[in-house]
Amino acid sequence: MPELLDKFGRRHTYLRISVTDRCNLRCLYCMPEEGMVFMDQDKLLSYEQIIEVAETAVKLGIHKFRITGGEPLVRPGLEQLIAGISALPGVDDISLTTNGLLLASQAAKLKKAGLKRVNISLDTMDATRFKFIARRGNLDKVWEGIEAAIEVGLSPIKLNCVLLKGVNEDEIGRFLKLSMEQPMHIRFIEYMPIGHDDKGWRDHYLPLSKVLEVANHLGYVLKQDEGPKGSGPSENWRIEGGVGTFGLIHPISEHFCKNCNRLRLTADGHIKPCLYWVDELNVRPAFGSQEAMEQLFLKAMDIKPENHEMAALLVGDKQSHVPTERRMSQIGG
């Protein structure tokens, strides 16, 4: 069986699977507050179809899966998909990215189905600011989801914080303190222009060097850390004496494309070799043929570019490929 090795020698072992483009929030960095046109439900891959794709992926060396959205927990019966993927021989890790609003009621059954761990989006610890960033929802519900995940053993708990200049950068110290006092793993993420290169992105983009500046200003002694399982491209640190860690995911200021090991499957059935570029491959014609599905994965390796070139937007440089018009919620992050 061939390996998923691209032209630049990168071996791919990780598939991120979006199950829906719908979400119960409207975070300002992810989608517009109004006017989003969502996929018809009959355009989504069924769980059986997703498992068929995953089965071929595993035979090609994929052993790590992450379920994403939109907000994946708005799709009913997600535990069925988790159980189906977990049962595939060779799968050793399956995780979930969620905003946490619906997690409290589903954490136990997801864990029982085979889910190993969760990443929970938390861009602010202020209830009023939460309403501003997410435009709806309730911060207390997110904390209930975090507590439920801890209780059922979905560990390690990672909290994803997208930093936005002029919006939540004044909370960096508060998040650092949380990583010091709680066995959680705070991941600061740079704002990416996925599906929109606009003034809002340029105005709110903040390089993550700011996090280390704040940590030094607060007098923290930092030590580099290997981070929790599944840290991926995160640059990980621990505050001396702290029980948790924090990580920096900086796709723009210090892109990590040279170590990329991931592919994405969109909710409507397209393999994306790169989050940023327009290129994608429709899996639907390959259903029923493992050979055809294998060829799609191998083609994804053949067309995957060396890097995403998002940083070029900041300085006005020309890009070598065409950026996607899909928003982050339509791809799966």
Q: Is residue 224 part of a domain?
A: no
- On the 0-12 / 13-18 / 19+ scale of CB atoms within 10 A, 240 is exposed
pLDDT for position 151: 96
Per mean pLDDT, which range of 116-130, 245-259, 291-305 is the poorest?
Answer: 245-259
Query: What does the radius of gyration of the chain's CA atoms come to, in whole angstroms?
Result: 19
pLDDT for position 195: 61
Mean pLDDT (whole number) for 128-140: 95
Query: For the segment 148-195, what is each residue's pLDDT rounded down to a tens digit?
Result: 999 999 988 999 999 999 999 999 999 999 999 999 999 999 887 776
Residues 190 and 124: their CA atoms lie apart, in Å, by 15
Mean pLDDT (whole number) for 3-23: 94
Residues 57 and 6: their CA atoms lie apart, in Å, by 15
Q: Is residue 146 part of a domain?
A: yes
Residues 24 and 202: their CA atoms lie apart, in Å, by 26
pLDDT for position 308: 66
CATH number of the domain to which 272 belongs: 3.20.20.70
pLDDT of residue 329 exceeding 60: yes
CB distance 218 to 170 below 8 Å:
no
Q: Is residue 234 part of a domain?
A: no
pLDDT for position 144: 98
pLDDT for position 322: 72
Q: Is residue 180 part of a domain?
A: no
Q: Is residue 285 part of a domain?
A: yes
Per mean pLDDT, which range of 70-84, 131-145, 316-330 is the poorest?
Answer: 316-330
Q: How far apart are the first and last CA of the chain?
A: 29
Distances (CA, A) of 299 to 94, 194, 234, 283, 288: 25, 23, 28, 12, 18
pLDDT for position 277: 78
Q: What percent of the chain has pLDDT over 70?
A: 90
Q: Is residue 140 part of a domain?
A: yes
Query: How many structural domains is the chain composed of?
Result: 1
Query: For the segment 229-273, what is each residue's pLDDT rounded down to a tens digit?
Result: 665 678 899 999 999 999 999 877 666 677 889 999 999 999 999
Q: Is residue 170 part of a domain?
A: no
Domain that holds residue 296: 14-161+258-331
Residues 149 and 299: their CA atoms lie apart, in Å, by 38
pLDDT for position 256: 67
Q: Is residue 21 part of a domain?
A: yes
pLDDT of residue 311 exceeding 60: no
Query: For the segment 195-231, what is each residue's pLDDT rounded down to a tens digit?
Result: 666 667 778 888 899 999 999 999 999 999 887 766 5
pLDDT of residue 317 exceeding 70: no
DSSP letter for each residue of 247-296: EEE-TTTT--GGG--EEEE-TTSEEESSSSBS--EE-GGGTT-HHHHHHH
Mean pLDDT (whole number) for 70-90: 97
Mean pLDDT (whole number) for 69-86: 97
Mean pLDDT (whole number) for 79-94: 97
pLDDT of residue 125 exceeding 90: yes
Q: How far is CA 34 from the centre of its chain?
A: 23
